[in-house]
Amino acid sequence: MTDIATRSQAFTLVSDAVAAGLVAPWRVYLARGCRYLSLSLADRDEWNAWRAHFGCPDLTVRVYETDGVVRRSSIAEATVGGCRVTVELLEDVDLDDLEMLAVVSGSGSPEAQS
C-alpha cells in the first residue's frame, strides 16, 4: 500500500472495512495532513475486530475516574500506508466487578487474578 496522501484515501480504509463486514465506528477523526486517523468503537467485540483488521500490535489500557465513574480506555495503534491509525474503546466499569479492569480479552494479556 502506498502512503495515504488524501482524506479520501484515509476514509477509504474505513469504508472498505465496513464493506467487508465490520461495524461502522461511532466516531472517526482524521487529522489535517492525513497522518492520523482515530476510530472510536462501541463495544469490545467491534474494537477487537477493527484492531485485528488493521493489525494493531500496540495496546495501551488506561483506567481513570471521572465524575465518580470509573472508565477503562483501550487504545490500539498501527501504521497503515504511512498513516497512524488508532482504534479506541471507552468503557464504564461497574465498581462491583473490579476484576474487569485487568482483563483485556483477545490481547494475549494475563487475566486478572482472583
pTM beyond 0.85, yes or no: no
- 74-94 pLDDT, tens per residue? 999 998 888 889 999 998 877
- 38-62 pLDDT, tens per residue? 999 989 999 999 999 999 877 888 8
CA nearest neighbour of 34 among 13, 58, 60, 56: 13
Contact criterion met (CB below 8 Å) for 1 and 81: yes
